[in-house]
Structure 1
């Protein structure tokens, strides 16, 4: 309605402007026509005055003495109707009348005479023409039948020998000329008006188009202000506003609503493996699936990253929320086809219901998020409702993260070192650095607890750097034959790990050959090229590289020749089952044999019984560690008495082809 009213007002304004312009054009044309008629009347009068001067005899006596001879009368009578002159008057240079053409009477025999008339009064206009030295033209339109409809009255001087001897008042019939000029100017006016109408039409169309485009831009800006620019669903601000509206309606009408928080499973793997463009396509596909499963009045939003939310209105019972949550899980479970590749789907859903879990919109959103955390903790690909116990557990977890951050800042962590022994089980070859945290209230916190906390809080890189630096400072005080092993996390590979290790070695003075850095197989799954470049940078410093927990992850023999490993560490799960399962014994023997054929030393973790020790020794294992041989101890309790006296000879070069690491495929 507003748009139609605006268009109607625009049309009225344009029409009024058009009418005013046409009127102005015609007025200007009319004025120009009259000016043209005055100019032509003046020219006709001047020419007629020249004819009088050249043809009328006794001209000087006529004007100077007011004596009109019969010859002059005859000639003047002949000059009527010359150059459209239908009447004239003669005056001397003082403005006194001498002769009027109306006084000339033509007789039947063709002769002319002057009729007797009463004397005329002086003409002041003639005096002004003479005194001011310019002509005077007056245009008249008449309804008198005795005169033309259009004529001009012109006062022009008669000049003889450079002097004004008199003035003639000439009446010029301009009816036909006025008609021609008016018609010509009207045609011009019509053409100008047509062009003006066209221009006004174009201007009006452009104005309307601009207004339409402006409205589209304004609508787009409003849309972008309320919707996620990537997926087209509501953004966080609009979703919060919708929640507040739903809360007001619920308070006024007891209408129940629910909030569902949705988080995609393994979305980071999509970004890492296929890039952010594929990740964006995946998010758009998820948004389309969510919009397809909700009802008309339910609202879908993207809160950020891979987090989505649904506002479910008109909830009558909890089963309605359960049904929608299951539909969401089922809709997002199938894989996505992105850039010709199948991307794994799956999502977890957390739900909170108004009235049951809270009556504040912000509180409901928070509790739905807690329910989502519970669903992901239970195995992903499922839904869960808010649970107070989960809330308490999460609050405790967040408190532990705060305490861990403080412990890193205040040097509240410590290191223990577990000894590593040669194949004989008695010769000390080195120590593995293990981080320990004694909480001021909870006591000793297991690494199985605080290491995942550090990863969740983004502290793992800081923690890893602290362990590496502190361990190097300690190891430099050991005998030169005792090496140091330090575990690395995947997060450390995202930064300048080579620079960090180089700095720790320089600060501590520890020789690079005594430092063994351990990585897990899971690190090799993604970003293979980047990890490989970092490992080559570390070996370039002289550092040794070990693969930890070999055989328990995504073991691939390709890793053994693609990466510069100096040592394999067989996971304790194999060591503990050596005695019970002959297959495990065979696998361990095969791993050791394969590693030795490639020039790689082998370490066995978790040696706890003499039988396990004997089996590993019989298979030719190079290095052993476990509670049977030595438990982790603080640095001040370490006993280096059994350290070997001579430095370990360098490992023989392995027949390993690392190839061009810049061309090795990415994620496996």
Structure 2
């Protein structure tokens, strides 16, 4: 069959003579026949085809491994996202109070059956008591109608037992019945896959715990929030929407030609898989084309080239998907900012190159995000976050590094500037921009921002040092009321360390009776005698001496000690007043104390224990405390009013001075800040304003007390404009209880008689 020569071997004319083809020369030199050459060519083509076939098979196998890894990774991420969604509902003070402390079926139904279902579209949801008995159920999927018994599923029961044990262990570690589970929520939740026969489901378990805490916590096993997500077609299609995979199914036996991951290993060998058709099927396509390729070498070569090209496209597509997955893992989904770990890596890279120039780390905090979330809902808060992140990017350069490190906290590393002043100017412009209103649906949201600034290299040469410095500066902003910029300096660090030391000393002071109450009389101008005495807290610290209240009270408030200190003050003041008989007592109440559950009942108990009439007690509340929780404040004031305790709006004129407070709340007394009377001596406008406020208080039927009366002229003025009750150094400075009783004994006796 090889008798005829190949056309390549025939003689060819070149010029005027006959010459031999170069190919023929090679063949002649190697003494290879045409048939041998053809065999070699066929073998070479088969070898090349086999090599290509092998590479395509290997590429498909690698693509399949990547698909398996991507599906497994996304499936695990999906489980964690379920737990993250459950955390929003299970970990909150409101959930704990309405499920565990004082069960509210209406609240549970609204929060878990409506709000939570709207967000997560679960198949079923259950609230289990400490004995795993369902107390509430929502079963959109008929499969779960009836009671849900977690003991049918050993892995779910085991996880639930571990969560219960972790919860009980944490509560026993708490020094009091109040505490926080911050940083421990991962130990109080879990998610398991259960086998339901024809299908499978993800069961999420989350202990219902108070967050941020600092409310009474019962030392018993918790209630559990349980959600069930059936792995049906609708649910599975939602899991892998970002991976471009199709036909994801749950199956007992993997159909031929499908990739899979095993998700169920039963105790008796039962298996369950997630299976899908692979994206790349080049190998099977090539095999099916083999007969045609064997007959037509050219077609084989073309198909091989096309197949290799298609395989390259698939690899590029998978590489892009992997890049997208890496981007999603490194960036916040709402703002596009880097997450903390990625932000750290980017900044370290800039600093390691030594090309930062004039640089700075900016720590930003959205001041009113929590208030907006509580008032308008989380959708409004999310809108504010997105707008704020856009304004931040618009202020600084594209090359700067942006990170989101908390719900309302951002980090920005700006670098390559000509001077620190340029950074500060940009940041001041940003703060002004952040005050611009944000439109949401039919509402107008008013945000604000605080910023702590640490300069490189003045305040730190590493990211950790800069972060610490910027955080300290931000903390100083928040202490000063927010909506401002603070540049770090070493004095802030010293003040922070001193505040930490003072927190420890305050705990010791509570345990060792270092606090003392002084009393300043509140004088009835008509009688010249006190109707009440204001209780003022004094701290005698052995090393520091007398520490002013305006220094230690904010620290005690931030450390969460004010409820305990406030209760001590209330008990001591009421006990002292019970001896005076004719003179009542006025006690300042901290915001954290006022917001405590059962505060009004606690006041009633203290009064009854000391046999003091509620009319002899005034509780002073400042304007800023009202803004902390308007709804809760109204409720507490109504409860106090029902008991018979009078409430005073203290330091009126130093805060927002909204006239709406005077008729919206049950205040019986209006205390005008001392600045009004002190300015009145030299300022006609201040005198007129003071007279107007006094008239307003009288019109509203309130007792009016003018604070800060220090001279006879001031007393004469406030008396002339109609004020009958005053307080100030003109009559007496604050004094210990024994001295107060000695100096005003005549009033106490005459009133008592």
TM-score (ref. length: structure 1): 0.60
Cα gap change, 1:348/1:538 in structure 2, threshold over 3 Å: closer, same or farther?
closer
Tell which has more relative contact order, 1 or 2 (C-alpha 8 A, sep 6+).
1
Residue in 1 that maps onto 2:70: none
* Shift in Å, 1:536: 0.7
Alignment CA distance shift 1:381-1:556 (3 Å): closer
Is 1:522 matched up with 2:602?
no
Structure 2 vs 1, CA of residues 515 and 309 (structure 1 numbering), >3 Å: closer, same or farther? Answer: same
What residue number does 1:244 align with? 348
Alpha-carbon displacement from aligned partner over 1:276-318 (angstroms, at most 9, x marks no partner) = 4322221121112223344333221112132211123445654
Aligned length: 463
1:481 alignment partner, one of 569, 574, 582: 582
CA contact 1:273–1:526 (8 Å) conserved in 2: no
Q: Does 1:642 align with 2:746?
A: yes
- Cα displacement (A) at 1:621: 3.0
Determine the structure 1 residue equivalent to 2:524.
422
- SS of 2:580's equivalent? coil
**1:605, CA displacement in angstroms?**
1.9
Distance in 2 (alpha carbons) for counterparts of 1:257 and 1:311: 7
* Structure with max Cα Rg: 1
Separation in 1, partners of 2:57, 2:640: 69
In structure 2, relative to structure 1, the CA distance for the partners of 1:212 and 1:498 (3 Å cut) is farther
1:227 equivalent to 2:331? Answer yes
- Cα distance change on mapping 1:380 and 1:504 into 2, 3 Å: closer
Give the corresponding residue for 1:559.
661
Query: Does residue 1:343 correspond to 2:467, yes or no?
Result: no
Residue 407 of structure 1 corresponds to 509
Report how far residue 483 of structure 1 moved: 0.7
Write the distance in 2 (CA, Å) between the matches of 1:213 and 1:268.
42
1 CA distance for matches of 2:729 and 2:393? 57
Point out the more displaced range, 572-581 or 300-309: 572-581
Deviation at 1:434, TM superposition (A): 0.6
Match of 2:384 among 276, 282, 295: 282
The answer (yes or no) to whether the contact 1:271–1:279 under 8 Å persists in 2 is: yes
User: For structure 2, which runs of at least 5 residues remain unmatched after alignment?
Assistant: 1-54, 64-279, 293-309
Shifted more, 273-282 versus 284-293: the winner is 273-282
Are 1:435 and 2:547 counterparts?
A: no
Question: Equivalent of 2:412, from 310, 313, 316?
Answer: 310
Q: Distance in 2 between matches of 1:367 and 1:524?
A: 32
| Comparing 402-411 and 218-227, the one that deviates more | 218-227
Q: Which residue of 1 aligns with 2:285?
A: 15
Q: How does 1:553-632 map to 2 (within 5 A)?
A: 553-632=655-734
Are the aligned partners of 1:513 and 1:543 in contact in 2 as well (CA < 8 Å)?
yes
Find the aligned partners of 2:588 and 2:643 in 1 and give their Cα distance.
17
SS in structure 1 at match of 2:460? coil
Q: Report the alpha carbon displacement of residue 426 of structure 1 after superposing the two structures with TM.
A: 3.1
Residue 494 of structure 1 deviates from its aligned partner by: 2.4
The answer to whether 1:356 aligns with 2:458 is yes
* 1:495 maps to which of 589, 596, 606: 596
- 2-structure distance, mates of 1:4, 1:529: 66
Q: Quickly say closer, same or farther: Cα 1:615–1:383, change in 2 above 3 A.
A: closer
> Using a 3 Å threshold, how does the CA distance of structure 1 residues 295 and 537 change in structure 2: closer, same or farther?
same
CA offsets 1:575-624 (integer angstroms, 9 cap, x no match): 33454445544444444444444433222222222233333344443323
Matches within 5 A, 1:256-295: 257-271=359-373, 273-295=375-397
Instruction: Map Cα deviations across residues 138-171 of structure 1 (whole Å, 9 max, x no partner).
Output: xxxxxxxxxxxxxxxxxxxxxxxxxxxxxxxxxx
CA distance in 1, matches of 2:601, 2:614: 13
| Cα deviations by residue, 1:236-255 (Å, 9 ceiling, x for unpaired) | 232223333334333xx787
Asked if 1:386 is matched to 2:488, the reply is yes
In the alignment, which residue of structure 1 is the partner of 2:645?
Answer: 543
**Does the 8 Å CA contact 2:56/2:283 hold for their aligned counterparts?**
no
Cα gap change, 1:247 to 1:524, in 2 (>3 Å):
same
The aligned counterpart of 1:51 is none
Question: Are the equivalent residues in 2 in contact too, given 1:351–1:386 (CA < 8 A)?
Answer: yes
In the alignment, the residues of structure 2 paired with residue 3 and residue 229 of structure 1 have an alpha-carbon distance, to the nearest angstrom, of: 36
Asked if the contact 2:60–2:283 (Cα under 8 Å) also holds between the matched residues in 1, the reply is: no
Could you tell me how far apart the structure 1 residues matched to 2:544 and 2:499 are?
Answer: 13
- Counterparts of 2:663 and 2:343, CA distance in 1: 52
Q: State the distance in 1 between where 2:625 and 2:484 align.
A: 27
